[in-house]
């Protein structure tokens, strides 16, 4: 008679368990340190604030599964927002603004993909350059000031909420479930995981690894630009600093939830959303307490270090449980 080791240790360190524990700790801290933390108005503000990062997170988790990490996401979001606002002012057509923002996103994605896939520049380096370049384009196009782009109907539609939760965010959660299903149960998802795990082995198996990664760069940048236009539709203006720090929030949430910058991991879109909400709640607690917001960047950096350390712990716990022979 043989018995298998109980996977209780790995269950406790699973991405969703870790994400929920992280969220619970943040909520307790919010209740203790900020009396208005649980007010409907405050929760509604936090939920609205993560709409654009949450949309980007969905495609970022697809990209990270395939081994693509794009550091220019926040700048591309800002670029999409200012392009949408500028074209809307010139044409008075929201559709033209969205089309222009989408075109800008596709152009950025193609540029990143060529640098990374064709010229073999490490994605983090290639997209770091685009982070700076796109932010410079935002300043040039906007002239260093906010660009008004208020459309009452679109703004009201995007602010529709169920209690403190925007309807758009509910849709994002539904899409997160769909993304998880695609990655785990579809042929394309299997190919994506193969490319993120070992692209050389994937190419030998007949999977077009380079083509998939090029598409991932384009799709991530496209969605980031569209998320920027949605953010401007909701708020009615494109600020010069729109999107700053979004890449840190998104990748911080994904790293905590079990993803790896080098590709793959055991996280999910849902666990990533949970961590994203927790990180935004931390920023909210700082605002409610009147603390300097730059301190949140320090805390986020420490959180990222903790996420990497946690991933190492997961690996060390999981390996003995898998390798341990059955005894009886």
Between 144 and 217, name the one with better pLDDT: 217
pLDDT (0 to 100) of residue 295: 77
Per-residue pLDDT tens for 55-102?
999 999 999 999 898 999 999 999 999 999 999 999 999 999 999 999
- Contact at 8 Å (CB) between 159 and 48? yes
Per-residue pLDDT tens for 114-158?
999 989 888 888 899 999 999 999 999 999 899 999 999 999 988
Q: Would the pLDDT of 257 be above 80?
A: yes
Q: Would the pLDDT of 255 be above 90?
A: no
15: Cα separation from own chain's centroid: 16
pLDDT (0 to 100) of residue 109: 97
pLDDT (0 to 100) of residue 2: 47
Q: Please state the rounded mean pLDDT for residues 164-175.
A: 89
Q: Would the CA dihedral through 217, 267, 52, 188 be positive or negative?
A: positive
Q: Would the pLDDT of 324 be above 60?
A: no
To which residue do tokens 């898998």 refer?
A: 322
Q: pLDDT over 70 for what percent of the chain?
A: 88
130, two tokens: 């685009």
CA distance 47 to 36: 15
Q: Would the pLDDT of 302 be above 70?
A: yes
pTM of the model: 0.87
pLDDT (0 to 100) of residue 311: 61
């Amino acid at each position: 008679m043989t018995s298998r080791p109980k996977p209780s240790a790995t269950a406790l360190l699973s991405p969703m368990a870790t994400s929920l524990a992280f969220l619970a700790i943040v909520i307790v801290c919010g209740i203790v340190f900020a009396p208005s933390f649980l007010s409907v108005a405050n929760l509604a503000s936090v939920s609205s604030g993560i709409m654009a990062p949450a949309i980007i997170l969905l495609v970022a988790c697809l990209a990270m599964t395939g081994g693509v990490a794009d550091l220019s996401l926040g700048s591309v979001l800002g670029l999409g927002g200012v392009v949408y606002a500028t074209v809307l002012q010139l044409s008075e057509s929201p559709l033209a603004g969205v089309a222009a923002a989408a075109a800008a996103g596709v152009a950025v994605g193609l540029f990143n993909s060529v640098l990374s896939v064709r010229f073999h520049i490490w994605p983090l380096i290639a997209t770091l350059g685009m982070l700076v370049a796109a932010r410079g384009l935002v300043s040039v196009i906007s002239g260093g000031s906010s660009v008004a782009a208020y459309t009452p109907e679109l703004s009201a539609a995007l602010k529709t909420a169920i209690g403190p939760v925007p309807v758009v965010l509910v849709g994002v959660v539904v899409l997160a479930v769909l993304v998880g299903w695609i990655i785990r149960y579809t042929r394309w998802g299997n190919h994506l995981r193969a490319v993120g795990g070992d692209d050389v082995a994937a190419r030998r198996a007949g999977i077009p690894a380079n083509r998939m990664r090029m598409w991932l760069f384009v799709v991530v940048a496209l969605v980031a630009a569209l998320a920027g236009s949605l953010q401007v539709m909701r708020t009615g203006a494109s600020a010069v600093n729109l999107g700053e720090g979004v890449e840190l929030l998104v990748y911080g949430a994904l790293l905590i939830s079990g993803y790896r910058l080098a590709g793959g991991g055991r996280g999910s879109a849902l666990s990533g959303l949970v961590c994203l909400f927790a990180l935004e709640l931390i920023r909210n607690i700082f605002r409610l307490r009147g603390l300097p917001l730059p301190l949140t960047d320090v805390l986020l950096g420490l959180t990222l270090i903790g996420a990497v350390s946690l991933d190492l712990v997961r690996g060390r716990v999981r390996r003995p449980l898998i390798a341990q022979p059955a005894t009886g």
